[in-house]
């Protein structure tokens, strides 16, 4: 029998960090990733920050609200969530969200399988820094379909992505 992995502690916002527009995402390494089980992502979302409605068949997301309040739209249904609440978004489901609290919100997202979402975020982050990279091609390469802006959200610049799916 193999020895179990040692426990690992991650302070808040520790790990591989990416800034996408006003949002900061930090990917937490974990032993489960060795077998491709899941990735953990901690993010800080400023008040009013939002993610356009989108879908992706390659990964499922589970959102755990740590701080703040969020309105999620999933498959046409609205969910208002606060600290301690959890929302599971299946692969392929249309979804988006907005931080509705007056202070920054903080999420823990569990993405399955591991590293699929991080590869997308790394590529979008690079596209946001380099105007020669076609951000729409990045979305297509990762199988992410951007569907629509949330009604109260100002549109993003057409050549740069400022939100996080």
Taking only the tens place, the pLDDT of each residue in 52-94 is: 999 999 899 999 999 999 999 999 999 999 999 999 999 999 9
Domain annotation for the chain: domains and CATH numbers: 16-148 (2.60.120.10)
Give the span between the Cα atoms of 138 and 156, in whole angstroms: 16
Bridge partners of residue 97, in order along the sequence: 51, 72
End-to-end Cα separation, the chain, in angstroms: 40
pTM of the full predicted structure? Answer: 0.83
Q: Report pLDDT digits (tens) over 128-157.
A: 889 999 988 998 999 999 886 544 333 333
């Amino acid at each position: 029998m193999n020895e179990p992995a040692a426990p690992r502690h991650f302070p808040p916002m520790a790990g591989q960090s990416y800034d996408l527009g006003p949002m900061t995402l930090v990917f937490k390494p974990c032993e489960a990733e060795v077998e491709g089980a899941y990735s953990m992502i901690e993010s800080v979302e400023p008040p009013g920050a939002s993610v356009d409605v989108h879908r992706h068949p390659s990964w499922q997301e589970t959102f755990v609200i740590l701080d703040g309040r969020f309105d999620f739209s999933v498959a046409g249904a609205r969910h208002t969530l606060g600290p301690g609440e959890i929302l599971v978004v299946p692969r392929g489901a249309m979804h988006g969200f907005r931080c509705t609290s007056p202070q920054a919100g903080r999420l823990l997202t569990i993405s399955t399988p591991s590293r699929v979402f991080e590869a997308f975020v790394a590529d979008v982050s690079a596209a946001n820094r380099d105007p020669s990279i076609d951000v729409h091609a990045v979305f297509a390469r990762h199988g992410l379909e951007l569907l629509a802006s949330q009604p109260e959200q100002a549109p993003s610049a057409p050549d740069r992505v400022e939100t996080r799916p």
